Structure 1
Amino acid sequence: MRVTSVTTTLSAEDIMYDLKTLVETKVPELTFKDVKLEDNFIQIEGSFKKIINIPFLAKVRILSVFNNILTLKIERIKVLKVGIPKFILNIASKTAAKKASEMGLTYENKALSVNIDEALQQVPHVHLEVEHFLMENGILSLRLKGIEADIDAMQEEAGKDQEEEERLKREEEERKLAEFNRKLGLLDRTEDSYTDFRYKILEKVPYDKKNLAKYAFILPDMYALALRLMKDKRVAKRDKVLIAFTFGYPLVPADIIPSKVPVLGKMDDLAILFFGSSYILNKIPVPILVQHWQGELATLKLVQDNIQKIVNFTPAKTLNQVYGLIDENLEKRRKSYLSDEAYLIPDEEVKPVDLDPIFEPALK
């Protein structure tokens, strides 16, 4: 894209924004506080922090613009409200020019020159020429010509920046997940009479049938999990009531809920059990589930990932939707749990455990 000529304006606010984004980011010790434009002068107030904050005031006069080179002269600098002699200003100008040479800034004949072509290297794929300037009423007007921009290259550059940003974001998420799973490995797993019973049964299972056995144990493992959650003081009381009902109801031989009762009356035992399982696996914090789960964590993750899909194909879907609204309103009044990370133990007590696949922390 090419534009023959255009006039643009810069206010004091615009220059302040450019100073903060282009200069402060590269020189963190500098802080700009105020900019004023008047009679070809740009006055800048700020501070330089080196152990202590040193306030300064600089007044720069725009001399000319020719061959795309903007010539400036530092007329006045005050540091700590003390005027600086001109010979010191000349030395300071030379020093500043050396440090900013990569931005097209040079010092010659007691004046600072800004090579706009070199300065624009900070903004690749763009070329323009400053033909004329005018300052009045606190506004700096610049007439620009020969404006060229390689839109395709700029879009490609922006795409690369976005890809890099997304890559860094993914790496950070992966790091957090790895750390979360590492800390899950520090948890003391619950052991009780069911632990011994399960171990003895598995010992009698033939080696080639052990993979099938771990799936056969899903239902008893879920009941063991439910019982252990009932004993855990960290589990909310209303969740314990729901666990007791959904896991206890299928064990009652008689149909204690009349068919006329809305929603529940039309539910079979299996649907109610599916609903209870889905609820606790999605509501209870992951570290508590991991701590009380007796089987392999990969099996727990498998059930956790797929239980909702099963619920959606059973009458439990309706119960899940109805109670979901109730639970959502109750949670707005008072949250039942902290974030998952709050239930992890300190780093010192390391106990390695198989954590494949990865559990994702839920920030409630």
Structure 2
Amino acid sequence: MMACARRALLGGAVVMLAACGGAPTTGDDGPAPAGSQLPRLSATADGRPVLSWVEPDGAAAHRLRYSRLDADGWGAPVTVARGSGWFVNWADVPSVVPLTDTLWAAHWLVSQGRGTYAYDVALATSTDGGRTWSAPITPYPDDSPTEHGFVSIWAEPGPSGDAEVGLAWLDGRHMVLDPARGHDDPRTTLRAAVVAPDGQRRAEEVIDDRVCDCCPTSATRTPAGTFVAYRDRTAAEIRDIHVARRGDDGWQRLGAVAAEGWHITGCPVNGPAIAAGGDVVAVAWYTEAGGKRRVRSARRRLDGGGWSEPVDVATGTPAGRVGLTWVTDDVFALSWLEDLGDGAAAVRVVTVDDAGPGSVTTAATTGAGRRAGVPRIAGIGGDVLVAWTSWHDDVPRVRVTRLPDLAERGRC
């Protein structure tokens, strides 16, 4: 087993964390062409990874595409949607999500033309495993000239037992002052809805009536219900990570994962990631509470109880933009961007189990700032896929690498 230093678990404090030297990676340019950006990773019902991205479609339009990784490699890209007037932003990223063998969902963002950050969610479904797609719908009735985005999608059991599309999003309708409609306190809300495969909308609910304006959300479906992680916002500008769960009785806010008390008067554009595997649900996030830049993680059992004491996975110069995926047993893999200075950043990956974080692997280097976007990870057996946006001569491209046997190497 490769030599490495591990963290001693002492009240949630990091004692030591060191990288295994020479950790192998398997390079792969991936299926996305030059010009692609905004990657997302998901998986089919039988565990095959799906990579989606956005690329130019002529001079003034875009298209959302995906490719599935099979035994013979990445399949030919499939176009889900194309059009002009899209809202394309490094932080608010479209998705293609397999929900069952046949039902898939995809979303992208369309500008309203009534302001820079006035845009809507376009949601499409496929009932033949991603081969053909419906015309898009807007999954809510609101038409205010405000932000609607940062979507998370999951498979929601419908009344007949068949899967429907569950989604949560950040909704800015209360940012438009309208006392007659009760909009007298400008704020962003976290909302959820269910959409049937035929596009019928139902069950729109408010999960939290005051949240951070532009931090991405994350969701995972478990036998104990759906968990959604997000960055909350109090009237006193405390912006800690919270989780809500949808069970048989509807949505229940579980409160803060850790009461850190990060006071910041503007949105840090740094959302959490949540994932589940076995009987565990885990959360990863970035914080600067107490004036310290940290990436942290906590977990809880599905059968009840609270969140574990958070562990510091990265300190020093992390930039956040975390990813999280279940790998095997009680092992999760966590990714983040690390600021290297001089306009460069590294995509770091580490495994975390009940004993804490293991060895750190550098999956890639890229540029710092907004152009780096948000790296993505997904478990595939004991391996981990990592997708990120690289830049060459001012042209972006989504690239992929595979970290083999990361669960075993993480235990070194």
TM class, shorter-length: under 0.3
TM-score, scaled relative to structure 2:
0.18
Bigger Cα Rg: 1
**Richer in strand (by share):** 2
